[in-house]
Amino acid sequence: MIGYICKYTPVEIIEAFGEEPVRLDSGYKSHERAEALIHSNMCSFAKGVLENIIENNIEEVILTACCDSIKRLYDVLKDKVKFIHLLDLPRKKDPLAIDLFYNEIIEFMEAYQAFKNKNFAEENLLKILESKSFNKEKQSAESIAILGARLKDDVIEKIINSCTANVINFTCTAEERVFNIEAKDNLLKSYAESLLNLTPCMRMAEDRSKLINKELKGIIYNTIKFCDFYSYEYAELKSKADLPLLKIETDYNDSNSGQILTRIDAFLESTGIKKMEKQRAKKGYFVGVDSGSTSTNVVIIDENKNIISYSIIPTGPKALESAFKAFEIALNNAGLQEKDITSIVATGYGRVSIPFADRIVTEITCHGKGAFFIDNTVRTVIDIGGQDSKVIRLDDSGNVIDFVMNDKCSAGTGRFLEVMARTLGISIEEMAKVHKEVKENITITSMCTVFAESEVISLIAQNKDQRDIIHALNKAVASKAVSLVDRIGRKGKYMMTGGVAKNQGVVYAIESRLGEKLIIPFEPQIIGALGAALISLEGK
């Protein structure tokens, strides 16, 4: 068995040797061992592959000189596995480039032959190529394309299963392999040429815009954390292609597939591609209800931790009524009925008064759980809600090991910002914009909402620029949050949850203070409910 990662790998040669090529994936839970060998800011896919190779004791590996990450992966692996070979893959495909690649393939064959002490028979290769060259079907008209960085097989499969359209995979894991086997007298050369003729990936010099044709109903564009190759093409598509475009970012981490699939589903619905009948989850569905002072949020997941639906509504004067309503909306969104639900966990201030919950758990535990599920590199969760704010410290397994909460007043919370927006006479959306270029760096000295309000009033009276005042307010909230963080000590990565995480200005201000980027989940308000749903599932 020989592990590989790239579609340009001469897998047919490996097969002709009578060996089994296995495409390496990176289904890791942690990068502990990988990060002992390679810097942690490398691409998460490359780290995951490294982890996989160590964990599964893979002894033979063939890589292509794909990108800086893979080149370094090769350097790191060189004395750690029994056989490793790096194929230099040209970026062009003129005759000289084909010659080069052909030589590379020969070099690999010789190296492998020597290592295995096995002979290579060209007839075997011919047979394999013949069997592969004619099974390419013409794609039907309604298609969606997956572009960008590789996606995990299970995600691709789920996309295929969840829509009726043709799914064309243009990423590194694409399986189309068509070979020119006419030129039998120089089979290896034309094999090398056929490989270079595969759909060009991002690293190739070729223009890829021809991949995007009018027939496509939409494009799902994947990027991988710490891989920068793909953002360019995405930026270009975003400004040019008049096709529905969904950008996702994966990190090859098992736990975030659920979140991604929810977004893909929503995207497919919006492109009008009919969804197939949902398969009923066998073990039922699990619900988390977060009854907060400002909003009530519900999340429904299935047994595989996929987020099926969620709802967010403002908490009315009666917490119970809001909880019922949010639950109902989430059920409707999912096309489910109450009887489909296996169990419910409630959290948040109002958790005690929800009679339909099977269990109650504090929002601290639930937030920790939800955040770690979304991204298991998170060690600190900063949750700023409507009325309160908290900071939660997680250990490497996602358990809560420490936390702090604000004192019993609304300083530094969503409420604070709301009051100030009202004072300024602007909408909360207006407040949320980032104003980086400040004319004057104003500081709001009072943390107390009441006193801060009068400070703002006097700033208005002094005719200060509104943007500067907003900036000052965002800074005030950030400073409060960071002082909470400092109370339990700084430890990254940081995730920010709660409604205020949607306020770009605050996020930016916290980031500048921490000197680190915050991870913002796709829907920061539902993390507590998500955690509750996960607990509900695991409790079963």
Partner 1 sequence: MDTVKIYTNIIKDNMDRPEKVNKLINFGLTSAYYYVSFFKDKRIPRSLHYLNKYSIKSIKDSLANPQNSAWVNLFAPSEFLIAMDIKPLFIEAYSSFMSGFFIEDYLIDTAESRGMSNTLCSYHKTFIGASELNILKKPKFMMTTSMICDANIPTFKYLSKKHGVPLYIIDIPYKYSKDAVVYVKKQLLEVAEKLEEVFNRKLDTDKLREVVKTENKTRALMREYLNYAGEKRSLPTMTFEMYMLFASHVFIGSKEILHFYEMLVEDIKRAPEKNGKSIFFIHLLPIFEKNFKDYFNFSDKFHIAGSDLNYDFLDEIDENDPFKGIAEKLILNSFNGEINRKVARIKELIEKIKPDGIIQFCHLGCKQSMGGTFIIKNLASELGIPFLYLDGDCVDKRNNQEGQNRTRLEAFLEML
Q: Which of 86, 216, 227, 326 binds ligand SF4 (CB under 6 A)?
A: 227
Work out the burial of residue 499: count CB atoms within 10 Å of its CB; fewer than 13 is exposed, 13-18 middle, 19 or more buried. buried
Q: CB of residue 368 vs partner 1: minimum separation in angstroms? A: 25
Q: CB of residue 87 vs ligand SF4: minimum separation in angstroms? A: 10
CB 114 within 8 Å of CB 83: no
504 binds partner 1 (CB under 8 A): no
Three-class secondary structure of residue 403 per DSSP: strand
Nearest-CA neighbor of 68 among 247, 279, 229?
A: 229
- In angstroms, the CA 131 to CA 124 distance is 11
Nearest-CA neighbor of 252 among 151, 174, 159?
A: 151
Query: Residue 433's binding partner, choosing from ligand SF4, partner 1, none, with beta-carbon cut-off 5 to 8 A by kind?
Result: none
Query: Residue 72's binding partner, choosing from ligand SF4, partner 1, none, with beta-carbon cut-off 5 to 8 A by kind?
Result: partner 1
527 binds ligand SF4 (CB under 6 A): no
Tokens linked to 309 = 């639906």
DSSP string, 451-493: HHHHHHHHHHHTT--HHHHHHHHHHHHHHHHHHHHHHH---S-
Query: Residue 172's binding partner, choosing from ligand SF4, partner 1, none, with beta-carbon cut-off 5 to 8 A by kind?
Result: ligand SF4
- In angstroms, the CA 444 to CA 326 distance is 37
Q: Which residues contact 138 (CB under 8 A, 6 or more apart)?
A: none
Cα 409 to Cα 415, 425, 450, 453, distances in angstroms? 10, 23, 10, 14
Q: CB of residue 229 vs ligand SF4: minimum separation in angstroms? A: 5
Q: Which residues contact 395 (CB under 8 A, 6 or more apart)?
A: 379, 401
Which span sits near ligand SF4 by CB under 6 A: 43-51, 330-338, 362-370, 458-466?
A: 43-51
Residues 68-127 that bind ligand SF4 (CB under 6 A): 69-70, 89
Q: CB of residue 484 vs ligand SF4: minimum separation in angstroms? A: 35
229 binds ligand SF4 (CB under 6 A): yes
334 phi and psi angles, rounded to 5 deg:
-90, -10
Q: Which of 2, 53, 63, 67 binds partner 1 (CB under 8 A)?
A: 67
Residue with the two structure tokens 């991002």 = 202
Which span sits near ligand SF4 by CB under 6 A: 198-206, 235-243, 421-429, 490-498?
A: 198-206
Q: CB of residue 69 vs ligand SF4: minimum separation in angstroms? A: 4
Nearest-CA neighbor of 389 among 413, 416, 364, 415?
A: 413
CA angle at residue 355 from 354 to 361, to 5 degrees? 55
Work out the burial of residue 426: count CB atoms within 10 Å of its CB; fewer than 13 is exposed, 13-18 middle, 19 or more buried. middle
239 binds partner 1 (CB under 8 A): yes
468 binds partner 1 (CB under 8 A): no
Tokens linked to 110 = 């010789």
Q: Please say which residue, 45 or 310, places its beta carbon nearer to partner 1.
A: 45
71 binds partner 1 (CB under 8 A): yes
37 binds partner 1 (CB under 8 A): yes
Q: Which of 2, 5, 219, 514 binds ligand SF4 (CB under 6 A)?
A: 5
224 binds ligand SF4 (CB under 6 A): yes
Q: CB of residue 379 vs partner 1: minimum separation in angstroms? A: 15
Q: Please say which residue, 70 or 400, places its beta carbon nearer to ligand SF4.
A: 70
- In angstroms, the CA 513 to CA 200 distance is 43
178 binds partner 1 (CB under 8 A): no
Q: Please say which residue, 206 or 340, places its beta carbon nearer to ligand SF4.
A: 206
Nearest-CA neighbor of 334 among 303, 361, 309?
A: 309
- In angstroms, the CA 225 to CA 258 distance is 17
Q: CB of residue 91 vs partner 1: minimum separation in angstroms? A: 4
149 binds ligand SF4 (CB under 6 A): yes
Q: Which of 19, 360, 516, 520 binds partner 1 (CB under 8 A)?
A: 516
19 phi and psi angles, rounded to 5 deg:
-110, 165
Strands 245-250, 83-87: parallel, antiparallel or unpaired by DSSP?
A: unpaired
254 binds partner 1 (CB under 8 A): no
Query: Residue 45's binding partner, choosing from ligand SF4, partner 1, none, with beta-carbon cut-off 5 to 8 A by kind?
Result: ligand SF4
Q: Please say which residue, 8 or 229, places its beta carbon nearer to partner 1.
A: 229
Q: Please say which residue, 223 or 503, places its beta carbon nearer to partner 1.
A: 223
Residue with the two structure tokens 């009441």 = 450
Query: Residue 6's binding partner, choosing from ligand SF4, partner 1, none, with beta-carbon cut-off 5 to 8 A by kind?
Result: ligand SF4
Query: Residue 88's binding partner, choosing from partner 1, ligand SF4, none, with beta-carbon cut-off 5 to 8 A by kind?
Result: partner 1
146 binds ligand SF4 (CB under 6 A): no
Q: CB of residue 243 vs partner 1: minimum separation in angstroms? A: 15
Q: Where are the alpha helices (DSSP H) in 11-133?
A: 11-16, 32-37, 44-55, 68-77, 95-116, 122-133
Contact residues toward partner 1 (CB under 8 A) are 37-39, 41-43, 65, 67-69, 71-76, 86, 88, 90-92, 94, 96-97, 99-100, 103-104, 202-203, 205, 207, 223, 225-236, 238-239, 247, 436-437, 511-512, 515-517
Contact residues toward ligand SF4 (CB under 6 A) are 5-8, 43, 45-46, 64, 66-67, 69-70, 89, 149, 172, 201-203, 224, 227, 229
